Structure 1
Amino acid sequence: MKRLLFFIVLLMAVSLSRAQSNESFAREIANYKHQDSLHFPPKNAILFVGSSSFRKWTDVQDYFPDFTVINRGFGGSQLQNVIFYANKIIYPYHPKQILIYCGDNDFAYDKTVSAETVFNRFKTLFFQIRKHLPKANIGFLAIKYSPSRERLWSKMKRTNQLAQNFLANQRNAEFIDITKGMFDKNGKVITSIYQNDMLHLNPAGYKIWQSDILPYLLK
């Protein structure tokens, strides 16, 4: 009986932790919904969704002037948070293409999480999008190798490999490797494309992403 009670309490604690994790983004998501109420984005746009690397790309539309872009990145998010809020910031827009950047926070916030676990979170999001938006193109941006998170690079590389192999066998989906141009010819990370935190990109970094993403965008 005591053992059963322990597991019940443990499950409740895990559920509470997840709820608090999602709740921490509630204000940011509410702000997006407020924007929608004032001016709802057009259908068949290109949706950028994920963590702060997208959220901080506030002028992303300027990088892709020939496309209609919706940016719904929210800072600090993990893949499970994107899954949780998909019914608010993905499905309602009926985009023709969805670009996802997320996953590095999954590793940063949980030292025990494996590459396989993060990959499976992505697959869950992928198939949920497929269910709700079967015609939408889905692009997954490789998890970048930020200098401040070098200790996590091996897990990130493994996740990228798993995602690339998976997407190679999926219809209407792509793996977009934005990492190659972020290293110099000697294989050293280019630190000048990062902000002072050595985690988030500056305009030079986003310029690299622009050139890597542009060939995949749907007209």
Structure 2
Amino acid sequence: MPLIGNRLPSSVLCASLLLAALLAGAAPALAERTPQVPQQVSQPNWEQDIQRFEAQDRARPPAPAGVVFVGSSSIRFWDSLARDFPDVAVLNRGFGGSEIRDSTWFADRIILPYRPRQVVLYAGDNDINSGRDTQQVADDFAAFVQRLRQDLPEVRIAYLAIKPSPSRISQLPRQQQANALIAASADRLGVDFIDVATPMLDAAGQPRPELFVADQLHMNAQGYALWREVVTPFLQP
């Protein structure tokens, strides 16, 4: 393009400025359409647990279309799970002191590969104990549901209410508020909200200590027997 007195012709200059303005205006829209790489929200120290599950799967692949129980230590320590539900093909994928977000993050590895017909989640009290507020816990629950239905749109999902425990009695009001928010969200999302919390309270509204082991946080056989009674009607045979 010939220069005029070391300057571009005015028509070319105007066209260049217009193009720059259009590109600048389009930048936000382009950025919005660009998929964002998800950031890991789960603790890396759960990786050993997940690898252990994967090794078990390689050694003995679980049958598809079963019921996956996933979540924190209340699931992990449910050693009688298969005996409690003998007519249901159940799979225990509870790990450590995990939070709801952990199960969402690892769903690709410990839930979705099994193509389950039903998923039962227990998590939430560790979330509150770590400082997440009740709305965040409810939002994390909704994100878990969204993640599963992205790949398994027909899967049935159940959420076990955050349990009250004597060792976390100071957190009971927040646990109950989170349960109320999750129950409302579950109703909107078509998820079963299983209230295992209310029968774990005594007449004064306090956690029943006889349902727990010595740490007064994790349940004993009596506690799991109570859960079995409450959960049974919600399981698909």
Class of the TM-score when normalised by the shorter of the 2 chains? 0.7 to 0.9
Are 1:215 and 2:233 counterparts? yes
- State the distance in 1 between where 2:161 and 2:113 align: 25
Aligned residues: 199
- State the distance in 1 between where 2:85 and 2:95 align: 20
The offset of 1:138, in angstroms, is 0.4
- State the distance in 2 between where 1:190 and 1:157 align: 16
Are 1:37 and 2:55 counterparts? no
| Partner residue, 1:12 | none
Are 1:152 and 2:180 counterparts? no
Structure 1 residue runs of 5 or longer lacking an equivalent are: 1-14
Within 5 Å, which residues of 2 pair with 1:1-219? Answer: 22-110=43-131, 113-171=132-190, 173-219=191-237
- State the distance in 2 between where 1:23 and 1:46 align: 26
- State the distance in 1 between where 2:148 and 2:162 align: 20
Secondary structure of the residue that 1:199 maps to in structure 2?
coil
Whether contact under 8 Å (1:178, 1:212) holds in the other structure is: yes
Secondary structure of the residue that 1:83 maps to in structure 2?
helix
Whether contact under 8 Å (1:48, 1:72) holds in the other structure is: yes
Q: Percent identity?
A: 34
Q: Greater CA radius of gyration, 1 or 2? A: 2
The offset of 1:176, in angstroms, is 0.2
| Partner residue, 2:6 | none
Secondary structure of the residue that 2:43 maps to in structure 1?
helix
Structure 2 residue runs of 5 or longer lacking an equivalent are: 1-38
How much is the aligned-residue C-alpha RMSD, in angstroms? Answer: 1.3
Whether contact under 8 Å (1:142, 1:176) holds in the other structure is: yes
- State the distance in 2 between where 1:177 and 1:87 align: 27
The offset of 1:188, in angstroms, is 3.1
Whether contact under 8 Å (2:163, 2:196) holds in the other structure is: yes
Report the residue type matching 2:79 in the other structure. T
Whether contact under 8 Å (1:50, 1:74) holds in the other structure is: yes
- State the distance in 1 between where 2:90 and 2:149 align: 20
